Amino acid sequence: MRERGEKIVMLTAYDAVTARILDVAGTDVLLVGDSIGNVSLGYDSTLPVTLDEMVVATRSVARATERALVVADLPFGTYEAGPEQALASAVRLVKVGANAVKLEGGRTRAQTVQALTDAGIPVMAHVGFTPQSVNALGGFRVQGRGEKAADRMVADVQALGEAGAFAVVLEMVPEPVAARVTELSPMPTIGIGAGGRCDGQVLVWSDMAGMTQWTPRFAAQFGQVGTALSQAAGAFAQAVRSGSFPAPEHWFDA
Ligand code: KIV
Ligand code: NA
């Protein structure tokens, strides 16, 4: 797609009902993101997400998806020890239907990316703001500001690409830096809060669809699905309370 100049469209999905809708809508990549922690599991970060939780979500998304590439996040604590740990974790996600895995970090992950790739598991990298390192990064901050930091990001992406990564997410990176990284990257870049010159874009589906009032500045709401769902639930409640639901067409005769 990058060679053809076609933008890569990626959204998160965490369950079958959502994955089916996003897949049929023509999304290229469905990411079973560890943002499931914030969106679906009620955690206040991605750090508590377990591999077992990712396995359930990945199996659900993979079963419902016919067209899109399914990429599953390796959650915090399941790959940082090195290639052996990463391979054991990634295998569990591939066994339930992931076509590829994603992991966070720069050149320090190159050996791990190489090991997974050697094992036949495609790897998507993730640099810039990496939410699993929020404590080390000191909060939700744009990454790659300044010439040194930008150079470091270019080198990270090149090392990850040489190790075999097939794509890289750039999160919260200044627009000109993301453009330069994209230009020098051996593999496609997929941006979130990284401007329009990446090879693709990713959003958390609930931000994209307007499920909640608040969304990060880099997201846009392409629908008001939260409002629509709330209205549907309100209409159901009213119909039950007034006795207009169920009607004869909804019940069974003797
Ligand atoms: O978990 C996630 O949703 C992600 C995307 C923001 C890239 O990693
Ligand atoms: Na993630």
How high is the pLDDT of residue 214? 87
Type and span of the H or E element at 171: strand 167-171
- With a cut of 70, list the residues of the chain below it in pLDDT: none
Q: Please indicate whether residue 33, judged by its CB atom, sits closer than 6 Å to ligand 1.
A: yes
Residue 34 annotated as lining a ligand binding site? yes
Instruction: Find the domain containing 242 and state its range.
Output: 225-253
CA 174 to chain centre: 20
Verify that 17 and 124 share a domain, yes or no. yes
Q: Identify whether residues 183 and 249 lie together within a single domain.
A: no
Tally helices (H) and strands (E) across the chain: 10, 8
Please report, for the domain that includes residue 117, its CATH number.
3.20.20.60
Tokens (6 digits) for 179: 């453009």
pLDDT at res. 247: 96
pLDDT, tens digit (0-9, with 9 covering 90-100), for 176-185: 999 999 999 9
Go through 208-244 and write b for each residue having 16 or more CB atoms within 10 A of its CB, e for each that does not.
Answer: bbbbeeebeebbebeeebeeeeeeeeeeeeeeeeeee
Please check whether residues 108 and 176 belong to one and the same domain.
yes
Q: How many domains does the chain have?
A: 2
Q: Is the Cβ atom of 167 under 6 angstroms away from ligand 1?
A: no
Nearest residue (by CA) to ligand 1, atom 5, is 33
- Residue 156 pairs in a beta bridge with none
**Which of 43, 132, 192, 205 best tests ligand 1's pocket when mutated (most atoms within 8 Å of CB)?**
192
CA of 10, closest atom in ligand 1 = 7
What ipTM goes with this model? 0.99
Active-site residue flag, 171 = yes
Q: For 82-122, write each residue's pLDDT tens digit.
A: 999 999 999 999 999 999 999 999 999 999 999 999 999 99
Distance of CA 246 to the CA centre of its chain: 39
Rounded CA-CA distance 30/19 in Å is 7
If asked whether residues 129 and 243 sit together in one domain, one would say: no
Annotated binding residue 44: no
Identify the residue whose C-alpha is closest to ligand 1 atom 2: 33
In 3-state terms, what secondary structure has residue 10? strand
Task: Tell me which of 80, 147, 171, 183 is the catalytic residue.
Answer: 171
Q: Is the shortest distance between the CB of 35 and ligand 1 below 6 Å?
A: yes
